[in-house]
C-alpha cells in the first residue's frame, strides 16, 4: 500500500531540534532523575529558530512528520506545543509509555516503516547515534547542531530509553 500523496516526507525530531529543553535539563541531572517533572515542563520549551525555519521551509515541498522519543503520555502537550509554534500539521510518532529501547532503535524502526510507503527526503535530529544509524540505513540526515549537547539527555536517550 502506498501513501496517496506523492510528496516526500521531512521527518523532524522535537527535543533540542525544534524545542529547546535547556530549562528542564536539571530534572535529569539529579539522582533519581525526575522524569515526570522533565516532561511536565515541556510545554514551556522555547522554540529553536533554526529548526522552526527548516520545518517551514521543508513544508513547501514535503509532508511533515514529527518523530520523538517522548512517551505517548506527552501527546496532548506535544500537539499543543507544535500548534502554538505555528508549525505545519503532521503525524507525530511517539514512544510507547513502556518502551525503554534506545532512541536510535525506536526511531530507525519507524523510519524504515515510513520508507516502505513514501520517500523520506530527510531526517532532522540532534542525537548523533540516531543520525549515524539513519545514515547507515541510507537516509539523508540533517544534524540539528543548534543547541548545546546535554550529557544527561544523551544518557536518557541511549541508556534509559526515556526520550
- pTM for the predicted model, two decimal places: 0.87
Cβ neighbors of 122 (< 8 A, separation 6 or more) are 10, 11, 58, 139, 140, 141, 142
Rounded to whole angstroms, the Cα distance separating 77 from 37 reads 13
Q: How far apart are CA 112 and CA 117, in angstroms?
A: 9
Residues of 23-34 as b/e, b for ≥16 C-beta within 10 angstroms?
Answer: ebbebbeeeebb
Q: Which residues contact 83 (CB under 8 A, 6 or more apart)?
A: none
Q: Which residue has the cell 543520525?
A: 131
pLDDT digits (tens, 9 = 90+) for 117-153: 999 999 999 999 999 999 999 999 999 998 776 555 5
- Quickly count: other Cβ atoms within 10 Å of residue 2's Cβ: 8
Which tens digits make up the pLDDT trace of 59-108?
999 999 999 989 999 999 999 999 999 999 999 999 988 888 888 889 99
Contacts of 78 (CB under 8 A, 6+ apart): 14, 42, 66, 68, 70, 92, 94
Amino acid at each position: 500500500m502506498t501513501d496517496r500523496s506523492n510528496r516526500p516526507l521531512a521527518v523532524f525530531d522535537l527535543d533540542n531540534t525544534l524545542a529547546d529543553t535547556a530549562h528542564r535539563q536539571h530534572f535529569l541531572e539529579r539522582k533519581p532523575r525526575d522524569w515526570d517533572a522533565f516532561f511536565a515542563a515541556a510545554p514551556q520549551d522555547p522554540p529553536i529558530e533554526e529548526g522552526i525555519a527548516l520545518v517551514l521551509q521543508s513544508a513547501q515541498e514535503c509532508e511533515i512528520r514529527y518523530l520523538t522519543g517522548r512517551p505517548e503520555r506527552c501527546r496532548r502537550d506535544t500537539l499543543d506545543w507544535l500548534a502554538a509554534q505555528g508549525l505545519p500539521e503532521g503525524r507525530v510518532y511517539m514512544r510507547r509509555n513502556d518502551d525503554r529501547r534506545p532512541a536510535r532503535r525506536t526511531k530507525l524502526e519507524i523510519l524504515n516503516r515510513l520508507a516502505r510507503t513514501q520517500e523520506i527526503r530527510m531526517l532532522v535530529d540532534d542525537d548523533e547515534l540516531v543520525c549515524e544509524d539513519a545514515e547507515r540505513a541510507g537516509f539523508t540526515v540533517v544534524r540539528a547542531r543548534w543547541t548545546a549537547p546535554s550529557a544527561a539527555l544523551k544518557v536518557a536517550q541511549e541508556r534509559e530509553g526515556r526520550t
